[in-house]
Amino acid sequence: MEERFKVIIIEHEENVRQGLIAVFEHHHFDVEATGNVVSAYEKACSGEFDLLLLDARMSEIDTFQLCADVRSKHPRQVIFMLTADSNDRDLIAGLNDGADDYTSVPFAYTDLVQRAKALLRRTRLQINHQTTKQITLGDTLQIDCANLSGHSDQGKLTFTFREIQVLEYLYDNRGQSVESQELLNQVWGYPRYLNTETRAVDIHVATLADKIEANPENPQFLKRVGDGAYQFSV
């Protein structure tokens, strides 16, 4: 029997919302949807859904703050943002606030569903095999992967679930060059045949580096090696 997931769709445009409802129901999701601000916040923060599909363009609500609030309450919630364009400011804001990935409008509905299913399955697998790994970097930085936290001589650090998954994969493959496509496959769960175009990897790696590097411009641990490839060193 096919695995079923629950999705809450928060989208202010009626035609887009109805299109999303139709395609997700067709692909055997249990769907709820709203364009109402109050209802949106309550449902998004309820923790009842496997997937939060969030329109970044809703003028009546700060959707980036909503994303951050959901992430603080439910650290392993899968969040996909819909954005009107792919400019750096919006992408960085959404992914920094906890979104796992995004898609730019207009988008292919079936491609979005495939990516959502892949990400949900990989996330469920990651949660079921949750690590107890403790990572020590340098003399002062300690990272508790299970609790998505760390501390250094600069104070406490908090990480998103996806950042920790990226960190663990790069750490386990330290000394090797890891391409963005490999991270999409191994961390996000996207099969290679999807040919997914997203900057989610680059931005997650950048935000991770900001947290673990004393000087991200001259990194000690997490380095970019070539175009779209990274290497972890200890």
Domains 6-128 and 134-232 belong to one CATH topology: no
Answer whether residue 88 shows pLDDT above 70.
no
User: Using CB atoms within 10 A of its CB, is residue 193 exposed (0-12), middle (13-18) or buried (19+)?
Assistant: exposed
When the pLDDT of each residue in the chain is averaged and rounded to a whole number, the result is 90
pTM: 0.92
Read off the pLDDT of each residue in 28-34 and give the average, rounded to a whole number. 95
Which stretch of 32-36, 45-49, 82-86, 218-222 has the lowest confidence by average pLDDT?
A: 82-86
What is the fold, at CATH topology level, of the domain defined by 6-128? Rossmann fold (3.40.50)
Please state, in angstroms and as integers, the Cα–Cα distance from residue 182 to each residue in 65, 166, 190, 192, 217, following that order.
Answer: 30, 11, 9, 9, 24
What is the fold, at CATH topology level, of the domain defined by 134-232? Arc Repressor Mutant, subunit A (1.10.10)
Read off the pLDDT of each residue in 54-65 and give the average, rounded to a whole number. 83
Read off the pLDDT of each residue in 174-198 and give the average, rounded to a whole number. 93
Q: Where are the domains of the chain?
A: 6-128, 134-232
Q: What is the dihedral of CA 116, 120, 126, 129, to 10 degrees?
A: -160
Which stretch of 25-39, 67-81, 101-115, 140-154 has the lowest confidence by average pLDDT?
A: 101-115
Answer whether residue 40 shows pLDDT above 90.
no
Q: What is the pLDDT of residue 104?
A: 82
